[in-house]
Amino acid sequence: MTLVKETASLLEKLGVAKEALVGGDLIVRSPVTGEEIAALKSISAADAGKAIDAAHKAFQAWRLVPGPKRGELVRLLGEELRAHKDELGRLVSIEVGKIPSEGLGEVQEMIDICDFAVGLSRQLYGLTIATERPGHRMMETWHPLGVVGVISAFNFPVAVWSWNAALAFVCGDAVVWKPSEKTPLTALACEAIFKRAGKRFGVDAPAGLLQVLIGDRAVGEVLVDHPKVPLVSATGSTRMGREVGPRLAKRFARAAR
């Protein structure tokens, strides 16, 4: 089986539509052989903005779902990752050039963070604080932040997303993910896996809770500058960090570390 056919077969098993892999402007190549394995369509800056708006709408509904129930969605995501570990691990190896054990290991990290986040969903505690007012008490209530932006790099195409997304989902936040333009296939596969978990979860998982932005730097800049994205986790070069940090600070957004 050729690399192109194997990639298409893996993506089909993972739930990515065949028509999404051809006829686009973003060429995906194997870093090992240089062979073209897919051609995806990049989204425009305007479409990126619409995706962020959709995620914000999903956040407004998701934040009202109790934390332990939000954890159930992440538990189901972990189950789906277990069921498709071999396929996703192999796809990581093809798209990034990692040896098989490292491809599988990266998916295992995703599973592990899901397990951690599920437990965390029942530990979103707040302090009860002493007050001088008789007959009163003060207590902390942590509120979801909003849309969490994730910009991931080539070398860890799926694990870094999951570290952010699993925690964001249990905290009541939506996620918009801009993967490296060199590794969009694994992102589309994760999106399909998440949708399957959402379908099993039921109607309380709003549409748009996870958005994937396929494109180049211009798409990432939309995510960094958008007023409805209060937190961005950006993994990449020192140069990128020096550019992203001040842009977030300029609009009083936060950078995850």
Q: What is the CA radius of gyration of the chain?
A: 19
CATH of the domain at 139: 3.40.605.10
Determine the Cα–Cα distance for residues 210 and 69; give it in Å rounded to an integer: 17
Assigned domain for 13 exists: no
Assigned domain for 162 exists: yes
- Give me the amino acid identity at 24: G
**Cα four-point dihedral sign 5, 6, 12, 15:** negative
Look at residue 18 in the predicted model and tell me its pLDDT. Answer: 84
| Number of domains composing the chain | 1
Long-range contacts of 20-23 (CB under 8 A, 24+ apart): 20/188, 21/185
Assigned domain for 125 exists: yes
Assigned domain for 251 exists: yes
What pTM was computed for the model?
A: 0.94
Assigned domain for 199 exists: yes
For residue 203, give its domain range. 43-255
Assigned domain for 177 exists: yes
Assigned domain for 158 exists: yes
The one-digit pLDDT tens for each residue of the chain (257 residues) are 689 899 999 999 999 988 888 889 999 999 999 999 999 999 999 999 999 999 999 999 999 999 999 999 999 999 999 999 999 999 999 999 999 999 999 999 999 999 999 999 999 999 999 999 999 989 998 999 999 999 999 999 999 999 999 999 999 999 999 999 999 999 999 999 999 999 999 999 999 999 999 999 999 999 999 999 999 999 999 999 999 999 999 999 999 86
- Give me the amino acid identity at 171: C
Assigned domain for 84 exists: yes
